[in-house]
Amino acid sequence: MHTILVTGGAGFIGSNFVRWALGRPEANCKLVVLDKLTYAGNLENLAGLEETYPDHYFFVRGDICDGDTVAELFEKHAPNAVLNFAAESHVDRSILDPMEFVRTNVLGTATLLAAARRHWPEESWDRARFLQISTDEVYGSLPEDRPDIKFTEDTPLAPHSPYSASKASADLLTQAYHDTYGFPTLITRCSNNYGPYQFPEKLIPLVIRNAMNDESVPVYGDGKNVRDWLYVSDHCTALWDVLSTGEPGSVYNIGGDRELRNIDLIRMLLDILDKPHSLIEFVNDRPGHDRRYAIDAGKLKSELGWEPSSDFREKLAETVNWYREHTEWLERVISGEYLATYDRIYRRGWKE
Ligand code: NAD
Ligand code: TYD
């Protein structure tokens, strides 16, 4: 049985991954989730797993920057893989408070790498894996008038936001562990995910929640920025393939070839919800707003045989239904702290 340390497992993608992996007995793995439970982490996302999988699922509340906590987990559970989902993940917050992003995303990754290297004897490295879960945002922005150009693994890193700069830093450090020590690292860079359990500060759940409450839907700038959307369970299958068969030291892009302008996606969501387009409100643009992301996942497909299996329109409608049926979850995860940030951005602008 594999033991995997899953950091940030109470967040959106982490909790989807934990549920997905535990639901596959053939994966035969024990998951030790380490999560600080920031505003974005929610134990409700993992509810019931302790009872259903008492021998395969363990939760520990803690900070990836805390070397003692991380060392204790390595000693107690002896994981042979690390999946590092833990991060501050919202670009808008990184504009308001970059330091927390540097701390968790850079120092946290550094702490995990150092602990894994210390606890894994070198002779075990052919069986151990450190998977750093990164983002396409590290590549920066693509021109909107060149649909032929997409991010490949060779695209130079050119992050623009404090969030993407902190993720790029963590990627470089992870790669340095491979190049310097021969440490068995893997890096994945995925496009925007959608699905259940996403914190409603991100575009899709934010639009759904606001529209359900007949509140205006804020569109940054002209709404023509393009994002490339992937259903979260397709991200999970890709991570599993990379973890199981990826070549140590490699980077893999993950994406589903589903580019959409924000305004078109928002109109689609309003139509599914049967709400008027008059709810759309154009607001001040995000500073440094990347124009277009688009992922070329050809390497992952040709080398590891991965394919996304989700139909976009079907999964988008399913996602809308999930939030419709989980309005209590939506309201519970939105704390006073979140509402204060929301108010600050939309009502008072981006500056102090
Ligand atoms: P999220 O914000 O929903 O979840 C992050 C989780 O990390 C939360 O549970 C939070 O409590 C935890 N966390 C934060 N700081 C921590 C710390 N110091 N120690 C321990 N736990 C901490 O994020 P997400 O959308 O699930 O993203 C997960 C990962 O995937 C991130 O690394 C992100 O950069 C990457 N990613 C996300 C997307 C996307 O569309 N959401 C796309 C590509 C890559
Ligand atoms: P987001 O979900 O924050 O993801 P990211 O910035 O990491 O891609 O935003 C997705 C896109 O939607 C991005 O171009 C910014 C835009 N956006 C809005 O227009 N309005 C909003 O209220 C939010 C949160 C995002």
Q: Do strands 226-231 and 259-261 pair parallel, antiparallel, or not at all (unpaired)?
A: antiparallel
Among positive and negative, which fits the CA dihedral 342, 347, 348, 351? positive
The residue whose CA has the least distance to atom 6 of ligand 2 is 91
The number of helix segments (H) and strand segments (E) in the chain equals: 14, 12
User: Residue 71 and residue 181: Cα distance in Å, rounded?
Assistant: 20
Where would I find the beta strands (DSSP E) of 72-225?
A: 81-84, 129-135, 185-190, 192-194, 217-220
Atom of ligand 2 nearest to the CA of 219: 19
Residue 350 forms part of a structural domain: no
Cβ–ligand 1 distance for 37 under 6 Å, the answer yes
Residue 272 forms part of a structural domain: no
Cβ–ligand 2 distance for 167 under 6 Å, the answer no
| Structure-block tokens of residue 34 | 């380490």
Global pTM value: 0.96
pLDDT at 337: 63
Q: Are 114 and 36 in contact (CB under 8 A)?
A: no
Q: How far is the CA of 277 from the centre of ligand 1 (A)?
A: 31
The residue whose CA has the least distance to atom 21 of ligand 2 is 203
pLDDT at 136: 98
Q: What is the DSSP letter of 23?
A: T
User: Residue 84 and residue 87: Cα distance in Å, rounded?
Assistant: 8
Cβ–ligand 1 distance for 38 under 6 Å, the answer yes
Residue 210 forms part of a structural domain: no
Atom of ligand 2 nearest to the CA of 221: 19
Q: Which ligand is nearest to the CA of 100?
A: 1
pLDDT at 23: 96
Cβ–ligand 2 distance for 91 under 6 Å, the answer yes
Q: Which ligand is nearest to the CA of 208?
A: 2
Residue 277 forms part of a structural domain: no
Positions marked catalytic: 136-137, 163
Distances 297 to 203, 230, 238, 257 between C-alpha atoms, Å: 23, 12, 10, 8
pLDDT at 351: 65
What domain range includes position 150? 2-195+231-257+291-309
Residue 282 forms part of a structural domain: no
Cβ–ligand 2 distance for 30 under 6 Å, the answer no
Fill in the amino acid letter for 243.
Answer: L
Cβ–ligand 2 distance for 202 under 6 Å, the answer yes
CB atoms within 10 A of CB 46: 22
Give the CA count within 13 Å in the CB-facing half-sphere of 166.
Answer: 26
CATH number at residue 120: 3.40.50.720
Q: How far is the CA of 224 from the centre of ligand 2 (A)?
A: 11
pLDDT at 26: 85
Residue 88 forms part of a structural domain: yes
Q: Do strands 226-231 and 129-135 pair parallel, antiparallel, or not at all (unpaired)?
A: unpaired
Residue 202 forms part of a structural domain: no
CB atoms within 10 A of CB 75: 10
Residue 127 forms part of a structural domain: yes
User: Residue 210 and residue 208: Cα distance in Å, rounded?
Assistant: 6
pLDDT at 25: 83
Cβ–ligand 2 distance for 164 under 6 Å, the answer no
What DSSP letter does each residue of 244-271 carry, written as one string? HHPPTTEEEEE--S-EEEHHHHHHHHHH
Q: How far is the CA of 40 from the centre of ligand 1 (A)?
A: 8
| Structure-block tokens of residue 270 | 């309003």
Q: Which ligand is nearest to the CA of 86?
A: 1
* Total count of domains within the chain: 1
pLDDT at 155: 98
pLDDT at 347: 66
The residue whose CA has the least distance to atom 36 of ligand 1 is 135
User: Residue 195 and residue 317: Cα distance in Å, rounded?
Assistant: 10
User: Residue 63 and residue 70: Cα distance in Å, rounded?
Assistant: 8
User: Which residue is listed with tokens 């919800």?
Assistant: 273
Q: Are 39 and 67 in contact (CB under 8 A)?
A: no
pLDDT tens per residue across all 352 residues of the chain: 799 999 999 999 999 999 999 999 888 899 999 999 999 999 999 999 999 999 999 999 999 999 999 999 999 999 999 999 999 999 999 999 999 999 999 999 999 999 999 999 999 999 999 999 999 999 999 999 999 999 999 999 999 999 999 999 999 999 999 999 999 999 999 999 999 999 999 999 999 999 999 999 999 999 999 999 999 999 999 999 999 999 999 999 999 999 999 999 999 999 999 999 999 999 999 999 999 999 999 999 999 999 999 999 999 999 999 999 999 999 888 876 666 666 666 666 766 5
Cβ–ligand 2 distance for 198 under 6 Å, the answer no
Distances 245 to 126, 219, 305 between C-alpha atoms, Å: 12, 40, 10
Can you tell me whether residue 54 is helix, strand or coil? coil
Distance between alpha carbon 4 and the CA centroid of its chain, in Å?
Answer: 18
